[in-house]
Amino acid sequence: MRSVIRLIICLSLLTLTACEFDRHEMHQARQNLSYTTKLHHLHMLVNHSLQMATQGADMNLQGVEHGPAMLVKASGLLERAMSGPEMARMHKYGSGNKPLMKMTQELADKSAVLIEAMKGISTKTADKDAIRMLNHAVEVAATGSSLIMLGQQGMAGDIDAVMVNHGQLMLGEASGLLHDTTGAPEYRLLVSGVVQMLIGIPDMPIDSEDGDSK
């Protein structure tokens, strides 16, 4: 009888250990998913700042008074996304050296340089047609990137696949626009750096390291 009781106790302990292990694995998975989701949302804010900036730059080309204000707002949104308390919290809890975080920072840095260049665009700027096409490439890439990241979160059933597929098509279109546009070589170089990063970020895997649980 004692042997049976001991066996039952051992089996119970093994079951509890297995359950605890499963809970730990689930917790780790939730942390990693939460970290990636938070960064994707921050990416979407960066993307929107780029969309605002391209509109402002196009207004500058046409001499529309609202252009400079749009670019200032774009810079403000980019700064808010990258230096706000949410980003600070992620760095505090050890996410600063993760690949997706590094890529986010690099995208933000290149976006900031591009937006500053956009602020210098005016009705006197040369290669206007090329600049318009390059701005369109940025806007298309930013939109496609956001669609993919939103669809990857799996919140809307079958429509998620539609969003991801359309986002991929938009990234392909942006790449084609960049390839086909000649002129404004210095500006094109800045645009290329941003567009190539927008194409790459949605494909970044979920980090396998411990995520941010806050």
pLDDT band for position 72 (cuts 50, 70, 90): very high
Residue 21 lies in a domain: no
Q: Distance between alpha carbon 76 and the CA centroid of its chain, in Å?
A: 17
pLDDT band for position 212 (cuts 50, 70, 90): very low
Kindly report, residue by residue over 112-165, the tens digit of the pLDDT: 999 999 999 999 999 999 999 999 999 999 999 999 988 988 888 899 999 999
Q: Is the pLDDT of residue 79 over 80?
A: yes
Residue 25 lies in a domain: no
Query: Tokens representing 148?
Result: 């993919």
Mean of all residue pLDDT scores within the chain = 83
Residue 19 lies in a domain: no
Residue 5 lies in a domain: no
Number of independent structural domains in the chain: 1
Query: Tokens representing 46?
Result: 């960066």
Please tell me the least confidently modeled range out of 26-40, 45-59, 168-182, 193-207: 26-40
Residue 162, domain extent: 34-203
Residue 89 lies in a domain: yes
Tell me which residue of 126, 125, 139 sits closest to 194, measured CA to CA. 139
- pLDDT at res. 95: 73
Residue 124 lies in a domain: yes
Kindly report, residue by residue over 180-198, the tens digit of the pLDDT: 999 999 999 999 999 999 9
Residue 99 lies in a domain: yes
The Cα 171–Cα 105 span in angstroms is 20
Q: Is the pLDDT of residue 19 over 60?
A: no
Residue 163 lies in a domain: yes
pLDDT band for position 22 (cuts 50, 70, 90): very low
CATH code of the domain containing 49: 1.20.58
